[in-house]
Structure 1
């Protein structure tokens, strides 16, 4: 017996000046017969699905070409103030993104921020930044680090989007930093063991 899952999504709009404290979700099914299973209910910021969570039909595997598995990808950038970084992904599905940011000048607490494409999936490091500190947000190990020690963050771990991945890095006004993104390109697997 094969179970077919269908993914549904809906954007919930709230007043921007109000903070959401809780959400009540009620699922209704009418005028049908059979068995229905609800799985993987997820709320996220923004109006685009991320696909970062595994689904029940497939497993992920490292992206392959005829020559074999593509190795871990590293992308280095120098940037000032606020910049949208964009790069092409060979992988066919989303995967976790490890981000390393090294400020060149001191920055106040909360001034180093990351987000996806057009500002969704936002996060910020809460600590003050000194020159040559390295702030790491590691989706691969679910850690936020400052100079290899745990540090506080607010918000989400980042991910790469399939084919065209866009990210916004924000810094304190007039400051600059070195940014390194690392990720393993992924594809959907067969789901067979």
Structure 2
């Protein structure tokens, strides 16, 4: 008995669990990982909410938003104009394309970098806006679920009421009817 008791005390004594502590060296504690993930998610949502807390509605902000929306339509309309010009005046179009052949390769790389950064930053901003609206939607889920549960309960109550037999009207009290006739007439 002393040997088994000593072994169990070695493994579980002093409020410790050596087996659990040893296994956590090789495998992450799932419960603690979940707690850290919840904390991280809450802090990330808090940071995201703080970033978009103040609406930007000034004239300058509206002007800059409008200016930021110009490059994509301008590129699309420019490319469509190139197709139209190639069909309308092929010689003029070909001479312009010959001029593009003279642009050095590093300048094409620079143009590619500028366009990539612009559209990359635009994509990031739109992605963050989408995540913000998604987090606001997810915050409303408990209210919506509560409303749906209330509506289902009302529907169940209506079904139960519809299944009940109609209540019979009570027989009129003869003495009361005679008294009312005597009083009125």
Give TM-score, length-normalised by structure 2: 0.18
Asked which structure has the greater RCO (Cα within 8 Å, sep 6+), the reply is: 1
Between Structure 1 and Structure 2, the one with more helix by share is 2
Between Structure 1 and Structure 2, the one with more strand by share is 1
Rg comparison, structure with higher value: 2
Give TM-score, length-normalised by structure 1: 0.18
